[in-house]
Structure 1
Amino acid sequence: MATTPRRRAPTPAPASPWAGSEERQRQRQAKRNAVLTTAAQLFNERGFHATSLDDIAARLHVTKPTLYYYVKNKDEILLACVSKGLDMTLAGIEASRAAGGNVVDQLRACMQVYADIVMQPFGMCLIRVGDEEVPEPARSELRRLKSEIDLAFRRLVAQGVQEGSLNPCDPKMTAFVIAGALSWIGRWYQPEGAYSSAEIATQCINTLLAGVVRQPG
Structure 2
Amino acid sequence: MARGKAATFEQQRLAILGAAALLFAQRGFHSASMAEIARACGVSKPLLYHYYRDKEHLLFDIADNYIDRLVALVESVDAARLEALPHLEALIARFLEIYASSQSHHAVIVQDVKFLRPELRTSVRAKEGRVVAAFADAIERVEPGLRRQGLDKPVAMILFGMINWTFTWLRPDGPLSYADMAPIVSRIFIQGVSGLAGTRQTTKSRATTADPIHAISKG
TM-score (norm 2): 0.77
Instruction: Please give the per-residue CA displacement for 1:37-75, whole angstroms capped at 9, x wherever unaligned.
Output: 100111111111111112222223332222112221111
d(CA) in 1 for partners of 2:10, 2:22: 18
1:124 and 2:107 correspond: yes
- 1:68 matches 2:49: yes
User: How much has 1:169 moved relative to structure 2?
Assistant: 9.5
Change (3 A) 1:78 1:68: same
1:152 maps to 134
Question: Of the candidates 126, 139, 156, which is equivalent to residue 175 of structure 1?
Answer: 156
For the aligned residues, what is the CA RMSD?
2.4
In 2, Cα distance between the equivalents of 1:169 and 1:207? 22
Structure 1 unpaired stretches of 5+:
1-19, 212-217
The correspondence of residues 23-102 of structure 1 with structure 2, limited to 5 A, is 23-102=4-83
Question: How far, CA to CA, are the matches of 1:55 and 1:201 in structure 2?
Answer: 36
Q: Does 1:141 align with 2:123?
A: yes
Larger gyration radius, structure 1 or structure 2: 1
Higher helix share goes to which structure?
A: 2
* TM-score normalised per structure 1: 0.77
Match of 1:68, SS?
Answer: helix
What is the letter of the counterpart of residue 102 of structure 1?
E
Inter-partner Cα distance in structure 1 for 2:6 and 2:153: 44
Where in structure 2 are the equivalents of 1:110-121 lying within 5 Å?
Answer: 110-119=91-100, 120=102, 121=104
SS in 1 for 2:81: coil
Distance 1:27 1:77, change over 3 A: same
In the TM superposition, residue 93 of structure 1 has moved relative to its aligned partner by 1.1
